[in-house]
Amino acid sequence: MGLAATLVVLVLAVAIAVFANWQERRQRPVGNPPLFSYTAIQMVAIVVAILMAAHLVSLLTGHPLTSRFLR
């Protein structure tokens, strides 16, 4: 995945997380539950954003991210 694609996915993930946060905090009438679990959507978007940020760092520095535990 190139730099442009990584940035697009990162921006989209952050936008989805912000939208899900806004929907979760919104006032709803009593007896009208949300159609989707916006908390779960927000958590998935945050995980994707963290992964894309790590991938962006590896693209910009030229060093792949490696685990400290797997050698």
Question: Which residues, other chains included, contact 37 with Cβ-Cβ below 8 Å and sequence gap of 6+?
Answer: none
Residue 67: what pLDDT? 76
Mean pLDDT of 3-29: 93
Domain of residue 51, residue span: 3-61
Q: Band of the pLDDT at 33, cuts 50, 70, 90?
A: confident
pLDDT at 38 over 80: yes
Mean pLDDT of 16-29: 91
In a domain, 40, yes or no: yes
In a domain, 68, yes or no: no
In a domain, 69, yes or no: no
What is the torsional sign of CA 16, 17, 20, 21?
negative
Question: Which residues, other chains included, contact 50 with Cβ-Cβ below 8 Å and sequence gap of 6+?
Answer: none
Query: How many domains does the structure of the chain reveal?
Result: 1
pTM for this predicted structure: 0.81
Mean pLDDT of 11-40: 91
In a domain, 15, yes or no: yes
In a domain, 70, yes or no: no
- Mean pLDDT score across all residues of the chain: 90
In a domain, 71, yes or no: no
In a domain, 26, yes or no: yes
Residue 1 token pair:
């995945």
